[in-house]
Structure 1
Amino acid sequence: MSNLFASAASGLASGWRGTAGSTESQATPGAVQDLTDPKQVGVFDALKELSRLKVTSTIEIPQLIVVGDQSTGKSSVLEAIGRFHFPVAGRVCTQFPTKLILRRSSEEHTVVSIQPAPSRTDADRERLEKFREELSRPDEFPALVDRARAELGVPASSNYGAGGSQEPLRFVEDVLVVKSSGPDLVQVDLVDLPGLFTAETQQQDGVGMRIVNDMVRQYIRSRNSLVLLVVSVATSFANQAARAMIQDMAQTDRTLEDRVIGVMTNPDRAVSVEDALDVLNGSLDSTNLRHKWLVVKNQGQQERSNEPLDQRDWREEHFFLNHPEWNRVPRTQCGINALRSTLRVALLQHTQAALPGVIVEVEATVKTLEARLDAGVSRSTPEARQVFLCDIAQKFSDLTREACSGTYQDEQCKALHKVGDECRVCARFFPRLRDDSPASQDRKLRANIRLLSRAFASAMREYGKTEEIVSSSNNSNTSINTNPNRETDHSAHEPHDVAGLLSPDTIAAHYTFPAPGRISHQDLNAWLAARIPQWRGREPQGEASENTYHLLFEHQSEKWPAIAAAHLDAVWQAVQRFVDVALTASCPADDDVRAAIRTHLTQPALADLQRASHRAMLSLIGCHARGRTGFYDGFVDVGPLRRRARGLSARLDRSDDDGTAGGSFAGDMLGFVLSAAGGNAAWAKSSIGVLAGELARGAVLGQLGGALADVFDGTGESAGGAGDGEVGREAYFVLVPRSMDNLAAARAVEHVEMFYEMSMMSFVGYVNSLVVESGILHELPRAILTQHRILREDAAKIELIAGEKASDARKRERDQADLDTLKRVLETLKGFSG
């Protein structure tokens, strides 16, 4: 086989053209280089650098695929474009794709290999990938192709019949790759595909037809491919299978109108020159291609074996100039030079169209490398490591301070760059107003914790009491309004009032508990009265011991520690999420350093602060423990009495007709007031006045009014001395029920109920302010990661955290080299795309 390899061994780009049986001759200089715009040389070099650096996968150097029916002269056209002869004989057809990869390089080198099809088994893939041959002379190529055929299992079509194979031809998707490099080569991939056929023969069956059609369609679909559609005017234009395929695919892929370039061959054997001229002027073809059709005169088999390619170009030009009909074709649409010019423009536009996306990716990579280099400054000395960590600590403490104070101000950038340019410092940490994502809420730490605190207060109101006291008339549905701030409709205080702001999982895990039990006053009094004798102390008969009051409150508030602990756990989870995102923002580029900071600095500090918060919580819970009366001494005012009297009045209105129950309750309340006064006549008088006003509409006013009027005179002292005191006591004892323990129990229940709400509200406030606000939010900015702490750490720990490995230094050097390369590439791409 002759004239096979003008590029590999003899310098394709230099213009040498080999012929069989003759010495190599010098061709017209620059013929192949005309395929590429001069600007593209730099762009292809840039794309090659991106490929080496593996920066982007959105673009490759464009490949030109040649599509056409069998015997339309595809290989001949490809040879004329790339100055490379494909081995074609009289009965040989292309049975597998052949890809010619031309690359610019300082050295000339040609390698032939096989790229296995995806459908191959692993064993076949491994075998085919081992096929690799280097060529030193052009005449080695035919034998190499035969060896490749043997590996692929596809005998040549020339061997069919006459003692050869009787099986239909096999077509495979494996690609024979010929990669040639040289100092002046155009950078393009040229792919010769098997020709399409529409009729089955003994040599080519329906299976082969389907394989070829699917293969060609797959290559055409690739947006990286420019399609050279080759049709022969020796056949009717309307009967070309390749043209029909393009028309069909263009219905769903409009990019084909830009990517397809139509070429007619065999003008010397045209069945209708007029039809061909109509196609060239755009009046016959309906494919709507943006590029005008072209016509070239391809070589016959004999010419390809004996005629140098520069001679081929001369004969073609002479044909179009002197033919009486073809000489009407514009010079821009006939001949191989016109085709090269069209391809050059198409390749240029195709590359320009794809470059904006590549530029965006390169710019992002540049910024990533810059950020990594900023964070990865040399840390070879103790001082450098300390400065490195201090910068991280400063950033972290600034973000933490803003988040804990609730100001949410980002750092002001002092770097010199254009407005609108991306900058690591300018990048926002705190979200914008429209950002409602859970991740953005994690950054707004104070707001997040205040939401948790609201949920905690609602949970304490809804679930904190062990037993809810309800009226005896309907102990399953009607709650006594013992809390004036707790309306009959509980929805304003339930945890779901933050359901739109906190996740359902958070509410379910930390702020949902079993509902309180429900018990009537009568049942609770009876239950407590039965236990008063069991806890007797030194108190007189008819009084409950101090222990009874403490134990009843302890009973009603025994769920507080669990609810508070769950709230504290939710707060610490929120803190941990914030610390993670703040640390990532403060040390974005070095995963190893960030992990070491977390292990050796932030996590131990958080653990210490967490233990301190639990100690504060335990101390606060202890303030409500049995015997701690001091917590309640500040709650003496008439407000609670007024509210309790309202509740009592409502109960008296629901008393029995004979007034017995009302009298009992009135006696309970009067006894409570007199005993609570403890000798403070002014306070007792004021309290009794409140009660009298609230009970004015009660059913026992007749029983209670006279007694209350005689207890104190207008001065606040006992009226009339000892005798009047007796009147007061007699009035009191008129209302005393038969059971002294029942009276003591009723008084204890009223006392504990009155102070439960004040105590619960105070407990919630102290948890949120003392434990969470002061103990956590106030301490975080100065307790976790600060410059002061870095300066106090010993050198060994600093080196453990920020010490630079030899591999890190090498990586930084590579990053710097890559960054310099990418900046040059970016400048080239922007200049080309602009």
Structure 2
Amino acid sequence: MGDGSPQVQLRNLQSSDELDLVDAIDKLRSQGISHYVSLPQLIVCGDQSSGKSSVLNAISGIPFPTKDHLCTRFATEVILRRTAAEGASVSIVPSQDRPEAECEQLAQFRESLPALDDIPNLIDRAKDAMGLSAANNAFSNDVLRIEISGPNRPHLTIVDLPGLIHSENKIQKAADIDLVQRLVRSYMSNTRSIILAVVSAKNDYANQVVLKLARDVDPKGIRTLGVITKPDTLPVGSESEGAFVALARNEDVSFRLGWHVLKNRDYETRHCSADARDLAEAQFLSSGVWNDLPPGSVGIATLRQRLSQVLLDQIRNELPHLAAEIESSIEHCHVELSRLGESRGTTDEQRLYLLRISQSFQSTVKAAEDGSYGDGIFGDARTADGYCMRFRAVIQNLNLEFADTMRRAGHHCKIIDNAALDAGEENRTVTRTEYLNQIRELLKRSRGRELPGMYNPLIVGELFYEQSTPWEGLARKHIDLVWKSGVAFLDLLVDKLADVDTAEALRREVIHPAMGVLLNGLNHKLKKTIAPFQTGHPITYNHYFTETIQNVREKRLQSEVQKKLVRFFGVKDPVTLEDLPVEKMKLASLVEVLATRNEADMDRYACSELLDCMEAYYKVAMKIFIDNVAVQCVEIKLASKLGHILSPSQIIQMDASQIGRIAAESTQSQDQRERVSRKLTILKAGAEVCKRFVGQTSMSMFRPPHCLRLRLISSDTLQHHQWPVEGVEYFEAEVDEPIADEPNADEPNADEPNADEPNADDLQDDKIVSEPDSAGGPFLPTETEISWESRFGSLPTLDVVQYKGKKGKVLGKPKKMKSPKSKYSTE
């Protein structure tokens, strides 16, 4: 079986061609990037006492405790690193669920050891530190990290997880069952984790929880590799032995990565060496039904090779996505640091920080007032915040709503014609006749020296003041809405320009006090604006006033003429002249009727004229008042002053005490900047590593074909070529997305015709169509699916692939396995 020393065992996990890539991933992990993005890793999971620790022991060479009465009670991360000097250490990553004091205490646990044989003792001490010796703490969310370094170590991470519990007992409670399942599921749910689902042959695999969880998180079985342990416990020739052999053949529970069979040490052989363990395993698996399995799916040596390839393929597939995730995280870090600003421990640094904020504040407010929303800070207008930032749009819409409200509800009562009164009208609606009666009483009580049929001009003012009573309330409501919109705009703006603490301080120290002053100024200005419409006598020189009176009188005259015509001709509702009986009509009589306009009630006539003047003046005054509120109050007293609330000159005039209250960093802000800066540094280093590898288009490990289709070439076609070998089947390969590489001198020119290339008409398309496995290649011909395990079976392997466009010849040789040569090869 070869040298079974830990160093050789670990080296077998990776070949020299793969070390650079695996080293790159480990470099990312060593920089701490795994705290921010998930990295590809191998995780070992299984039911309790399924042999997980023994599997990890065999893979890594680390002597994990495997006592029959004990089980893994926490996640164990094994970090393997290549360094010049040998070393090993054990540390604890505390769970975030623990109190801060306990986290600090556990984080200080770190012990080194000179030899790997001391690891079990260190693990026991770590358990004590976690408090697992107590009966009420059977399992822990803490993570035990074992770091092993040396010149012959690869860079690799393997995670051993607690065994899944089936039922409660004296030590393991219902809460422990749930805790373990959540912990294992969290690791398995990471799409960059390769799941080693360990199944013990001592129990019916259909009842083992690990398979259900694996199917839940990986329903297609793409990243799960099943491992069968303890096959020596099965009775020879039994039905259960046959069931597990079928499972190993991937016939029952099917995983894309297939299954593997291991024989672990038992209690009697627990102290034997690695060589003795491997020899006993080889002897057992080379006899009986296990000997019929493909050599590549049994034994620890081939498992290490499989894991090497699987891990490499997972890294290869995930690296482009990992690079994109890192770039996205870097962008988020830049946004966060921009909001936090630079470190500001001194007054000068704090003042400079506020000066920069004030400059951005003024320019943004100016743009918002001008309605220029091109800057990204304004956001999407369709969102609530985006609309709030567009202050000019908010003002315009509020002013339009105010004007509409004034027209609809600005009058004390609505005066309508007698015939238009509806029973459903609002309470403040009165007919013209009713209102004229009210005016008559006022006219009687306000008589002066005017002649009968005339009215005191001051009464126009009294009627107007009563009719415009709602104006002040509507205007104050409008002013309040505009002011609140301004506050919301500035609050949101400082949130975008400053960190949380500084934004809150700016609101408290500057924004809200200044807006309070502006509100007082608004109310004072509104009082002045409405005063002329509440006291004194009406004044207007607007021609619209006289035009309105004339229009009202013309409409009333038209109505009177129509009524006279109806009475004169005795016709109801005439529409045209033809409707009038004009044959025997005397023109003088008609003229006399139309010209007669006697109003015996002179007071009523005066009241009608008075009402016409009041309504005309009301319309003129309302337009003036709406404009004055929009210009004198909203625009001059509020909108034009927002930019001056936080100006550079104000920042310069602030004393050191106020500067400190506003811009001094809190401990949380300092810690946040430090965390984000540290995260950004790590992410940038990770981005450089990813770019170095993702950018190498000549490396097949990063640009595999998405689909390789193999089609059998007919024997008739093969007879016309010199390269066929008797007894070997030949296939044409078609790649969905070929890679444009430089021409290879050893390969045919893709632009030149090849006489030896089989014609497409000679291909049997119904033979084989295979998708790439997660191991990434090479692909081998079978009658069903080309699986990763085929590399270790007796099937022929692909030796040469010559691509021309999307097609090429594939030669298969039933000889010992060789590395495939193709345009995707690095050779």
- 8 Å CA contact 2:411–2:467 kept in 1: the answer is yes
Q: Does 1:101 align with 2:77?
A: yes
* 1:37-88 deviation line (CA, Å, top 9, x unaligned): 6434543453454479x5x3x6377462242686x65543332123234545
Change (3 A) 1:438 1:794: same
Alignment of 1:645-664 (within 5 A): 645-647=554-556, 649-650=558-559
Q: Once the 2 structures are TM-superposed, how far is the Cα of residue 525 of structure 1 from its aligned partner?
A: 1.7
Could you tell me how far apart the structure 1 residues matched to 2:95 and 2:656 are? 56
| SS of the residue 2:377 aligns to | coil
Structure 2 gaps, min length 5: 569-588, 695-701, 703-827
Residue identity matched to 1:77: V
Q: Is 1:819 matched with 2:680? A: yes
Residue of structure 1 equivalent to 2:619 = 757
Q: Secondary structure at the match of 1:548?
A: helix
> Of the candidates 38, 41, 45, which is equivalent to residue 59 of structure 1?
38
In structure 2, how many angstroms separate the alpha carbons of the residues matched to 1:583 and 1:459?
33
Offset of residue 26 of structure 1: 9.2
1:571-611 Cα offsets, whole Å, 9 max, x none, are 112222222223333x24x2333333334443344344433
Contact 2:448-2:456 within 8 A present in 1 as well = yes
Structure 1 residue 584 corresponds to structure 2 residue 495: yes
The amino acid across from 2:304 in the alignment is R
Out of 198, 214, 225, the residue aligned to residue 261 of structure 1 is 225
User: Out of 295, 301, 304, which is 2:261 matched to?
Assistant: 295
Structure 2 residue 188 is matched with structure 1 residue 188: no
Match status 1:785 vs 2:646: yes
Q: Where does residue 626 of structure 1 map in the other structure?
A: 535
Q: Give the letter aligned to residue 224 of structure 2.
A: V
Kindly indicate whether the alpha-carbon contact (under 8 Å) linking 2:494 and 2:503 is maintained by their aligned counterparts in 1. Answer: yes
Cα deviation for residue 348 of structure 1 reads: 4.5
Partner Cα separation in structure 1 for residue 608 and residue 470 of structure 2: 23
The corresponding residue for 1:437 is: 383
Q: State which of 288, 297, 300 in structure 2 corresponds to 1:333.
A: 297
Which residue identity is paired with 1:336?
I
Describe the SS at the equivalent of 1:102. Answer: strand
Alignment partner of 1:400 is 2:365: yes
- The alpha-carbon deviation at position 754 of structure 1 amounts to 2.2
Aligned residues of 1:464 and 1:516 also touching (Cα < 8 A): no
The structure-2 alpha-carbon separation of the partners of 1:756 and 1:191, relative to structure 1 and needing over 3 Å to count, comes to same
Paired residues, what number? 649
Partner of 1:692: none
TM-score, reference length from structure 2: 0.65
Name the aligned partner's letter for residue 548 of structure 1.
Answer: I
Equivalent residue for 2:54?
Answer: 76
The alignment-based identity, stated in percent, is 23
Query: What is the CA-CA distance between 1:389 and the residue it aligns to?
Result: 3.3
Q: How does 1:592-741 map to 2 (within 5 A)?
A: 592-632=501-541, 634-647=543-556, 649-650=558-559, 706=595, 735-738=598-601, 740-741=602-603
Q: Distance in 2 between matches of 1:653 and 1:351?
A: 95
Q: Which has the higher helix share?
A: 1
Within 5 Å, which residues of 2 pair with 1:272-351? 279=246, 282=249, 285-305=251-271, 307-313=272-278, 316=281, 331-350=295-314
Name 2:578's counterpart in structure 1. none
Q: Does 1:747 align with 2:716?
A: no
CA 1:633–1:536 in structure 2 vs 1: closer, same or farther (change >3 Å)?
A: farther
Q: Which stretch shifts more, 346-355 or 649-658?
A: 649-658
Structure-2 separation of matches of 1:620 and 1:171: 75
Q: Deviations over 1:410-452 (max 9, x none)?
A: 2xxxxxxxxxxxxxxxxx22345xx523322212222222221
Question: Do structure 1's residue 527 and structure 2's residue 438 form an aligned pair?
Answer: yes
Tell me: CA distance 1:640–1:360, structure 2 relative to 1, closer, same or farther (3 Å): farther
- Residue 404 of structure 2, aligned match among 458, 470, 475: 458
AA at the equivalent of 2:519: Q
Summarize the alignment of residues 11-30 of structure 1 with structure 2, pairs less than 5 Å apart.
27=5, 29-30=7-8
* Equivalent AA in structure 2 for residue 228 of structure 1: L
CA distance in 2, matches of 1:196, 1:813: 41
Residues 140-172 of structure 1, C-alpha deviation per residue, up to 9 Å, x if partnerless? 9589869979986999xxxxxxxxxxxxxx996
For residues 758 and 31 of structure 1, do their structure 2 counterparts lie closer, same or farther at Cα, with a shift above 3 Å needed?
same
Query: Do the aligned partners of 1:583 and 1:594 also contact (CA within 8 Å) in 2?
Result: yes
Is the CA contact 1:108–1:180 (under 8 Å) kept in the aligned structure 2? Answer: no
Task: State whether residues 231 and 265 of structure 1, in contact with CA within 8 Å, keep that contact through their aligned partners in structure 2.
Answer: yes
Q: Which amino acid aligns with 1:579?
A: L
SS at match of 1:631: coil
Q: Give the deviation of 1:459 after TM superposition.
A: 0.9
Q: 399, 415, 419: which one pairs with 1:469?
A: 415
582 and 546 in structure 1: CA distance in 2 versus 1, 3 angstrom threshold? same
The SS at the match of 2:222 is helix
Cα displacement (A) at 1:286: 2.6
TM-aligned CA deviation for residue 646 of structure 1: 0.9
**One-letter amino acid matched to 1:81:** I
CA offsets per residue over residues 296-339 of structure 1, 9 Å max, x none? 3433433322x22244335545776x769866755533321221
Q: CA deviation at 1:799?
A: 5.7
Distance 1:216 1:600, change over 3 A: closer
- What is the alpha-carbon distance in structure 1 between the residues aligned to residue 178 and residue 13 of structure 2? 29
Which one-letter code corresponds to 2:529 in the other structure?
Answer: L
Instruction: Report deviation, 1:223.
Output: 1.3
Distance in 2 (CA, whole Å) between partners of 1:65 and 1:117 is: 23
- The match for 2:735 is none
User: Which amino acid in 2 is paired with 1:100?
Assistant: T
**Which residue of structure 1 lines up, in the alignment, with residue 796 of structure 2?**
none
Cα distance, 1:518 vs. partner? Answer: 1.4
Q: Distance in 2 between matches of 1:809 and 1:69?
A: 45
**Distance (Å, rounded) in 1 between the aligned partners of 2:171 and 2:653:** 78
What is the letter of the counterpart of residue 682 of structure 2? T
Question: What secondary structure does 2:227 align onto?
Answer: strand
2:25 matched to 1:43? yes
- Compute the displacement of 1:564 (Å): 1.1
Contact 2:138 2:171 in 1 (8 A): no
Query: 1:183 and 1:208, CA in 2 relative to 1: closer, same or farther beyond 3 A?
Result: closer
Question: What are the Cα deviations for residues 177-207 of structure 1, in whole angstroms up to 9, with x where unaligned?
Answer: 754333347653543655888xx9xxx9999
Distance 1:133 1:777 in 2: 62
C-alpha contact 1:69 1:242 (8 A) present in aligned 2: no
The answer to whether the 8 A contact 1:449-1:571 is kept is yes
| Residue aligning to 1:711 | none
Task: Give the partner amino acid of 1:298.
Answer: N
* Structure 2 counterpart of 1:751, one-letter code: C
Query: Aligned AA for 2:504?
Result: A
Runs of 5+ in structure 1 lacking a partner? 1-24, 156-169, 411-427, 480-514, 660-699, 708-733
How far 1:362 moved relative to its partner? 4.4
Please report how far the alpha carbon of residue 641 of structure 1 lies from its aligned counterpart in structure 2 after TM superposition: 0.9
1:242, distance to aligned residue in structure 2 (A): 5.3
**Cα 1:406/1:655, change in 2 over 3 Å:** farther
Query: In the superposition, relative to structure 1, how do residues 431 and 308 fare at CA in structure 2: closer, same or farther (>3 Å)?
Result: same
* Alpha-carbon spacing, 1:151–1:604, altered in 2? closer, same or farther (3 Å): closer
Match of 1:767 among 629, 649, 655: 629
| Aligned-residue offset at 1:562 | 0.6
Query: 2:501, 2:165 → 1: CA distance?
Result: 57
Q: Which deviations, in whole Å up to 9, do the C-alpha atoms of 1:713-749 show, x marking residues without a partner?
A: xxxxxxxxxxxxxxxxxxxxx73434x4433322211
For residues 415-434 of structure 1, the aligned pairs below 5 Å read 428-432=376-380
Kindly indicate whether the alpha-carbon contact (under 8 Å) linking 1:114 and 1:132 is maintained by their aligned counterparts in 2.
no
Which amino acid is 1:822 matched to? L
**CA radius of gyration, larger in:** 1
Whole-Å separation in 1 of the counterparts to 2:142 and 2:510: 58
CA contact (8 A) 1:59 1:354 kept: no
Query: Given residue 631 of structure 1, which amino acid in structure 2 is its aligned partner?
Result: T
Please identify, of 398-407 and 594-603, the stretch whose mean Cα deviation from structure 2 is larger.
594-603
1:447-468 Cα offsets, whole Å, 9 max, x none, are: 2222212211221111111111
Tell me if the contact between 1:277 and 1:329 (Cα under 8 Å) persists in the aligned partners.
no
- Residue 777 of structure 1 deviates from its aligned partner by 3.4
